[in-house]
Structure 1
Amino acid sequence: MRLPLLVLLCSGLALTLAQHNPHWWGNRNTIVHLFEWKWTDIADECERFLGPRGYAGVQVSPANENIISEGRPWWERYQPISYKLVTRSGNELEFASMVKRCNDVGVRIYVDVLLNHMSADFDGLATGTGGSVAEPAKKSFPSVPYTAEDFHETCEITDWNDRFQVQQCELVGLKDLNQNRDWVRTKLIEFLDHLIELGVAGFRVDAAKHMAAEDLLFIYSSVRDLNINHGFPNNARPFIYQEVIDHGHETVTREEYNELGAVTEFRFSEEIGKAFRGNNALKWLQSWGTDWGFLSSGQALTFVDNHDNQRDSGDVLNYKSPKQYKMATAFHLAYPYGISRVMSSFGFDDRDQAPPQDAQEQLISPEFDADGGCSNGWICEHRWRQIYNMVGFKNAVRDTELTNWWDNGDNQIAFCRGSKGFIAINNNLYNLSETLQTCLPAGEYCDVISGSLVDGVCTGKSVSVDGNGYGYIHIGTEDFDGVLAIHTDAKL
């Protein structure tokens, strides 16, 4: 029997308010999206790199069975066929092992989950990565099982300002589940509960705006608490962040979902891209955050790019513009706004391109060069020194305020994070050469962009801070990067 909506809203609100907590270890506070990686490789990466470098968590690709599509494009992962935990990334045992190994080194796992739909039309029988078969055209998915009555009526989205079409018609032909049906809710809750049982910390909910908020409230409120055997406290709720693309003029808005969990702040991605592409002066970033029309900091999942919009033309930056991308990421991780996620991509020349794979169309593992970067089709931005050292910066300055903003009236900016960190950025075509207030105690500090503090020595630039907190800052137009960053954990 369904609860009356008012009762559901009242009982669910207290639970959903807790679903904004990512359950990070210590001072860690950055998620990385290891897009399309295998489970065994993610487990290895947690132990050898992510844990030691202070990453807080990993967003993993969808874990449940999907159709096998010709050429194995990345988007086949978003065409589910059952809730078996078998994909190109690995099977359930490998998934469970990954979650445990990552939790053991303080790196949380967040799963990209597909609650809105099943696979789109397929010629005849579709075969899944776990051996299941289905007839998507008939809305027949026997391995769940779902039948036609578990879906909304077939219709296309032609008007994105028509709530009925957005939430009950088929997104790019994907068979649209009816989350108001008890059976559908039951199967979705069972799926999420199983992932929680295996130790995950939360979920990225794909296509959330295509589902009614009251249906998601019921589902979120019904899932179990996190598994205490994986280091979570009693009564801890899963962290939920929801994909809601809202450019400010949609009928279905992010404000319908932000109390249920965090929401992906796509405007952040677009505006930061405009700024660092030179289409908006960096001086205006002083008021970054809610003054720009963004969600409140604790409700916004923020990113420079994600696996979808990095493939689109426009203002969004990606790895193909590395200098600007690293500057934007440094600002993202230095400025105290949002729940930060960084992207770790594979190289692509067209939008549908498959991740790196062998002749049998199986995923291949990343390989690493002498500097620790990836070298065989994987981009691995999270292993770029300028990015992982800014993750360390963000950890070092956690819970401090932004102070002492400086700019040159154009595209050179600098600011402090309390008395723990300082960053300067130069996006002009001339040198930044200034004596600036760093807010740091007197001493010699390593710039974590051009190098690191290794065995008591700076491998890149250094900055001498005097007894009044001032230091001479130089970022030349010839410099490889347009950023300089120092913090208390990088003091000689």
Structure 2
Amino acid sequence: MPGTRFPSLRRLVLVVALLMVVSSLPFGPVHHSTARAQTSSPRTVFVHLFEWKWTDIAQECENFLGPRGFAAVQVSPPQEHAIVAGYPWWQRYQPVSYQLTSRSGTRAEFANMVARCKAVGVDIYVDAVINHMTGVGSGVGSAGSTYSPYNYPGIYQYQDFHHCGRNGNDDIQNYGDRYEVQNCELVNLADLDTGSSYVRDRLAAYLNDLISLGVAGFRIDAAKHIAAGDIAAILSRVNGSPYIYQEVIGAAGEPITPWEYTNNGDVTEFKYSNEIGRVFLNGKLAWLSQFGEAWGMLPSDKAIVFVDNHDNQRGHGGGGTVVTYKNGVLYDLANVFMLAWPYGYPQVMSSYEFSNDFQGPPSDANGNTRSVYVNGQPNCFGEWKCEHRWRPIANMVAFRNATASTFSVSDWWSNGNNQIAFGRGDKGFVVINREDTTLNRTFQTSMAPGVYCNVIVADFTNGTCSGQTVTVDSNRRITVSIPPFSALAIHVGAKLSTQPATVAVTFNVNATTYWGQNVFVVGNIPQLGNWNPAQAVPLSAATYPVWSGTVNLPANTTIEYKYIKRDGSNVVWECCNNRVITTPGSGSMTLNETWRP
């Protein structure tokens, strides 16, 4: 054992001599959001801050999203909404009027948020509920407006709604019937007659009002329940060229497909979420080598992709096998893959804790949403989950931005099971280990030689890395050790500006072993595993009983180390005090030593 206690554990670079299979898989062009003139890298990821208040989103844009390179925020529906007993999340999706007064804040707060986010290069996308109004009934909305069945004073009356004349209560019963899906009521929600010029004008006026405040794009909620031609007619009345994406949940055997909506804009690709969930929860990552269009999904430049969204993380919106924040590290890994893989325009989910499928956001007894920010700081990782701030997810936004110009896969490798690696040409490289054993391997990459920050476990700031670094050698190879259920990612935007001086230290130790037992060196620095036996550097027995290995260690550094013998998870430490060396300022050094029993 080293000294009297273990220092803290850290991931590190290990030496393993294997080369990977090289392949190149072309994919569709990068999906850009709206113009990004003020940033040197294209911004290619947006986040859904589900149920956040406008004042909180403004702060988050300035404090985190802008500096981290997010393209945009999808916000919850801003219009006046129904007030429902228990204040469920879905009351936001029951419009009462198009006044901008909701449980996220006032019109003035909304406008202030849009302006502040835009000032730091972050667009606002509004979740636009234009298929329907409230559930058929009476009540008072969040701005004080009263309503009754098919009567929203000053806006709509009975004749402005579809009355499909089927199923008794007009609800959709048969999703195999296009007419029902687009003319009957979705779970009792008063279905707007989007074929009416009057209704189209009112909906366009709502969208134009939002555009006048600086809104850059719209998610068309429940687009599947609106004829694609009706959406086109509404959008023809909209000013400018806002970014459009439409919620269309495709299902086998149904007559309405996501493809028929692509002429209006992009479309949510729910199959991506279901398939990535199926693979990461129950499948093999090796299956993902052609993930995307080859799996029957939309063209990359038309697809909005996500690991989970506010609907399907609750079992709604098509349901399926979905990875959510409740899956812990698997959720990290699935998002790392999504943000590294060149397909679609990715949306990161930012949730709150929920224990049932209708639970609303953290609120007081009167349904007033609690702020994420407390005393100027985000109160994340408790009732607000803030997945977009989880380091592996947050730092992969910069990875996607940095690799956007090389929208294809290179250097694909898998072990045939749940360990994969792939590159994005000379712009980035990622390794994902979804197995319960450490992945020790040398990978061939296309990256330029140098030292890079592993952004999965460390932050890259002002040319320096807060933790583990990865060296790409002169042959463009990396030799790494990836712990179980972890990942590694490097990219050109996280290359150290000054490379630390190192010396090659050769360890030779005379040590007898039994069959299956091997010898390693472990020490007090990351290059030697930070005293973690699982991350120790393996030595070779080419001249048994002498075990040898060469490691690049920091120059002019005093280092403590020991030799260990390992047989699987069984570890034997040599005795006595830690060995100590001080490396020279340059060159190399060789140690010839004997195991201390």
TM, length-normalised to structure 1? 0.89
Query: For 2:32 and 2:469, how far apart are their aligned partners in 1?
Result: 36
User: Which of 146, 158, 162 in structure 2 is aligned with 1:152?
Assistant: 162
Asked if the contact 1:268–1:294 (Cα under 8 Å) also holds between the matched residues in 2, the reply is yes
Query: How far apart, in 1, do the equivalents of 2:158 and 2:244 lie?
Result: 29
CA distance in 1 between counterparts of 2:488 and 2:130 reads: 42
SS in 1 for 2:493: helix
Pick aligned residue for 2:145 from 128, 132, 138: 132
8 Å CA contact 1:85, 1:91 repeated in 2 = yes
Contact kept? 1:24, 1:108, Cα under 8 Å: no
Residue 448 (structure 2) aligns with:
441
1:141 matched to 2:152:
yes
Which residue identity is paired with 2:467?
A: G
CA change 1:370–1:482 in 2 (3 A) is: farther
- Number of aligned residue pairs: 453
Task: Tell me how far 1:454 sits from its aligned partner.
Answer: 4.1
Q: Residue 119 of structure 2 aligns with which residue?
A: 104
> Which stretch of structure 1 is more off in the superposition, 280-289 or 261-270?
280-289
How many percent of aligned residue pairs carry the same amino acid? 50
Structure 1 residue aligned with 2:360: 354
The residue number in structure 2 matching 1:55 is: 70
Q: What does 1:406-485 align with in structure 2 at a 5 Å threshold? A: 406-454=413-461, 457-477=464-484, 481-485=485-489
- Alignment partners' CA distance in 2, 1:407 and 1:368: 44
Aligned with 2:243 (options 236, 239, 242): 239
Which runs of structure 2 are paired with 1:2-401 in the superposition (5 Å)?
22-25=33-36, 26=39, 27-122=42-137, 125-135=138-148, 138-143=149-154, 145-153=155-163, 155-225=170-240, 237-277=241-281, 279-312=282-315, 314-367=320-373, 374-400=380-406, 401=408
| Aligned twin of 2:524 | none
Structure 1 SS opposite 2:349: strand
Letter matched to residue 142 of structure 1:
P
Return the offset for 1:81: 0.6
- Partner residue in 1 for 2:521: none
- Counterpart in 1 of 2:167? none
1:112-153, CA deviations, whole angstroms, 9 ceiling, x for partnerless residues? 00110000033xx31000110000xx311114x211100011
How far off is 1:409 after superposition? 1.3
In 1, the alpha carbon distance for the partners of 2:253 and 2:375 equals 46
TM-score between both structures, scaled by the size of structure 2: 0.74
Query: In structure 2, what is the Cα distance between the partners aligned to 1:305 and 1:190?
Result: 31
Higher relative contact order (CA 8 A, sep 6+): 2
User: What SS is found at the alignment partner of 1:298?
Assistant: helix
Would the alpha carbon gap of residues 344 and 165 (structure 1) be closer, same or farther in structure 2, given more than 3 Å must change? same
Q: Quote the Cα distance in structure 2 between the aligned partners of 1:430 and 1:371.
A: 37
Shift of 1:468: 1.1
Per the TM alignment, residue 411 of structure 1 is displaced from its structure 2 partner at its CA by 1.1
Q: Does the residue aligned with 2:325 lie in a helix, a strand or coil? A: coil
Partner of 1:233: none
1:459 corresponds to which letter in structure 2?
A: S
Deviations 1:151-198 (CA, angstroms, capped at 9, x unpaired): 011512111100111000000110000011111111001011111111
CA separation of 1:239/1:21 partners in 2, compared to 1, >3 Å: closer, same or farther? farther
Deviation at 1:208, TM superposition (A): 0.3
**Given residue 88 of structure 2, which amino acid in structure 1 is its aligned partner?**
P
Retained in 1: the 8 A contact 2:463–2:494? no
**Aligned partners of 2:209 and 2:401: how far apart in 1?**
31
CA gap of 1:427–1:152, structure 2 versus 1, over 3 A, is same
Q: By how many angstroms is 1:314 displaced?
A: 4.3
State the distance in 2 between where 1:282 and 1:375 align. Answer: 28
Could you say if the C-alpha distance between residues 267 and 59 of structure 1 is closer, same or farther in structure 2, counting changes exceeding 3 Å? Answer: same
Contact 1:24 1:56 in 2 (8 A): no
What SS class does the counterpart of residue 172 from structure 1 fall into?
coil
CA distance in 2 between counterparts of 1:200 and 1:363 reads 23
Contact 2:117 2:124 in 1 (8 A): yes
- Kindly provide the CA deviation profile for residues 187-216 of structure 1, in whole angstroms up to 9, marking residues without a partner as x: 001011111111111100000010111111
How far apart are 1:370 and its partner, in Å? 12
How far the C-alpha of 1:218 sits from its partner, in A, is: 0.7
Q: What is the one-letter code of the residue matched to 1:302?
A: V
Structure 1: which amino acid aligns with 2:162?
H
Q: Give how far 1:376 is off.
A: 4.6
Deviation at 1:254, TM superposition (A): 0.7
Letter aligned with residue 347 of structure 2: R
Tell me, in whole angstroms, the C-alpha distance in 1 between the residues paired with 2:301 and 2:425: 20
1:395 & 1:243 partners in 2: Cα distance?
Answer: 25
Calculate the aligned-residue CA RMSD, in Å: 1.7
Shift of 1:437: 1.4
- Per the alignment, residue 486 of structure 1 pairs with 490
Shift of 1:21: 6.2
Matches of 1:371 and 1:464 in 2, distance apart? Answer: 36
- Asked whether the equivalents of residues 346 and 356 of structure 1 are also in contact (C-alpha less than 8 Å), the reply is yes
Q: Which has more helix, going by share of residues? A: 1
Residue aligned with 1:336, SS: coil
Distance 1:113 1:465, change over 3 A: same
| Counterpart residue type for residue 266 of structure 1 | F
Displacement, 1:427? 1.2
- 2:573 is matched with none
Task: Indicate conservation of the 8 Å contact 1:366/1:376, yes or no.
Answer: no
| Partner amino acid, structure 2, of 1:442 | P
Aligned mates of 1:22, 1:469 — CA distance in 2 = 32
Relative to its length, the structure with more strand (as a share) is 2
Which is greater in Rg? 2
